[in-house]
Amino acid sequence: MAGNSFGELFRISTFGESHGGAVGVVVDGCPPGLAISNSEIQAQLDRRKPGQSDITTPRKEEDAISILSGVFEGHTTGTPILMLAHNKDTRSEDYHHLRDVLRPSHADFTYEAKYGRRDWRGSGRASARETLARVAAGAIAQKYLQLQLGVRITSYVEQVGSIKTSIAPSAVTADAVDASLVRCPDPKVAAQMIELIRAVQADGDSIGGIIRCFITGVPQGLGEPVFDKLHADLGKAMLSINAVKGFDIGSGFDAAHLRGSQHNDPFEPSASGTIRTRTNNAGGVLGGISTGEPITFRVAFKPVATIAKEQDTVTKDGLPTKLSASGRHDPCVLPRAVPIVDAMAAVVLIDHFLRNKAQNL
């Protein structure tokens, strides 16, 4: 089965390539009656689009979204929603030198191995341009979650290279994130991150980092053990994003250094009469099911594989060669990846909410 769809009841199927005619998504299973507009979806796409600043790819795409079905008189109808954005600023000639060369740490090699061919123009389907479709679908999911449950999803750049902010996730606001060129809500640390990215860019190189996501308002009971645990689906969603190499939730890998007496989250009653936990090392999920505490996780991104520095590689026929890649690429994907993390988190949560609602009539 082709891996172009994600979700069970709220299901998204993306299509399109970096230098094809358009990139888009079909959203199936969105409940009817949700008020949604082009402008709301466009606002999220504008956070992801290229050419935002001098620390992102200079490719200029307006990413103007068109809703072609599933919305009537400003509300979802319950039928499949088709959305697409046409590619405008393609320069396929910039990639001619990559027709027969395999970029180190890139999907060039594996796409050739799997399909026997690849679209070398801007990486084709392997390009992060595909994530435009995810963000469009995620905008709908976020609107539904906010209206129905009061869910708030806030992702931000926590680390670039070795530069890291220690700001508390609960203190981060969406406005503070978007006020930053690098989408780090800590102005002093953000300035250091930007300086590092610019230095790496000037050197013809790239750099990775970490995005943290903090979600409030998630009700207790979401998740489908044993194979569709909530954190398992969040992990799959995040690891499906281009350049992601790691995911951890709550205390994550730090839990390996602790004892149970240190890591356990003590239960206690709250003023509202519900059971809460005093701490949240679990990151809002126990046994694969949401606890009602904030869900917090981290997503690690590798450096962009396509760089201007000369590298040793081979042709697709296995002949040794040198490569200094040209084309338009991000020196650091993190600033544009923040809305992608938001979107995929929303898609997972709305799907699990609908599944839980169907089970518990």
> Tell me: the pLDDT tens digits for 226-262?
999 999 999 999 999 999 999 999 999 999 999 999 9
Task: Give the pLDDT confidence score for residue 89 in this predicted structure.
Answer: 65
User: Considering the chain, what is the average pLDDT of its residues?
Assistant: 94
Q: Give the pLDDT band (50/70/90) at residue 117.
A: confident
For the chain, what is the radius of gyration of the CA atoms? 21
What end-to-end distance do the CA atoms of the chain give, in Å?
A: 31
- Which residue is listed with tokens 């930007």? 194
Task: Decide: helix, strand or coil at residue 76.
Answer: strand
Task: Decide: helix, strand or coil at residue 67.
Answer: strand
What is the spatial distance between Cα 291 and Cα 221, in angstroms, rounded to a whole number?
Answer: 7
Residue ranges of alpha helices (H) inside the chain are 38-48, 108-115, 131-149, 174-178, 187-202, 230-239, 260-263, 334-359
Instruction: Give 45-97 pLDDT, tens digit per residue.
Output: 999 987 778 888 776 778 899 999 999 999 999 999 999 999 886 666 667 77
Task: Give the pLDDT confidence score for residue 71 in this predicted structure.
Answer: 98
**10 pLDDT exceeds 90?**
yes
Q: List the structure tokens of 317.
A: 């026929």
Q: What is the DSSP letter of 182?
A: T
Q: ∠ CA(88), CA(204), CA(311), 5° rounding?
A: 105
CA torsion sign for 302, 11, 221, 271 is positive
Find the range with the poorest average confidence among 29-38, 97-106, 118-127, 275-284: 118-127
How large a percentage of the chain has pLDDT more than 90?
83
**18 pLDDT exceeds 90?**
no
Superfamily (CATH H level) for 5-359 = Chorismate synthase AroC (3.60.150.10)
Task: Give the pLDDT confidence score for residue 301 in this predicted structure.
Answer: 98
What is the spatial distance between Cα 30 and Cα 50, in angstroms, rounded to a whole number?
Answer: 28
Find the range with the poorest average confidence among 55-59, 151-155, 297-301, 302-306: 55-59
Q: 349: closest CA among 183, 172, 216, 171?
A: 216
Instruction: Give 189-227 pLDDT, tens digit per residue.
Output: 999 999 999 999 999 999 999 999 999 999 999 999 999
Q: Whole-model pTM?
A: 0.96
Find the range with the poorest average confidence among 20-34, 50-64, 119-133: 50-64
Q: List the structure tokens of 215.
A: 């979600």
- How many other β-carbons are positioned within 10 Å of the β-carbon of residue 202? 10
Q: What secondary structure does DSSP assign to 93-106, as a single string?
A: GGGGGGSSEEPTTS
Q: Give the pLDDT band (50/70/90) at residue 283.
A: very high
Kindly list the domain boundaries of the chain, sorted by start residue.
5-359
Q: What secondary structure does DSSP assign to 78-129, as a single string?
A: SSPEEEEEE-----GGGGGGGSSEEPTTSTHHHHHHHHS----STTGGGSGG
What is the spatial distance between Cα 130 and Cα 15, in angstroms, rounded to a whole number?
Answer: 7
Task: Give the pLDDT confidence score for residue 190 in this predicted structure.
Answer: 98
How large a percentage of the chain has pLDDT more than 70?
96
Q: ∠ CA(147), CA(34), CA(23), 5° rounding?
A: 110
Beta bridge partners of 323: 311
Angle, helix 334-359 to helix 38-48, in steps of 10 degrees: 140
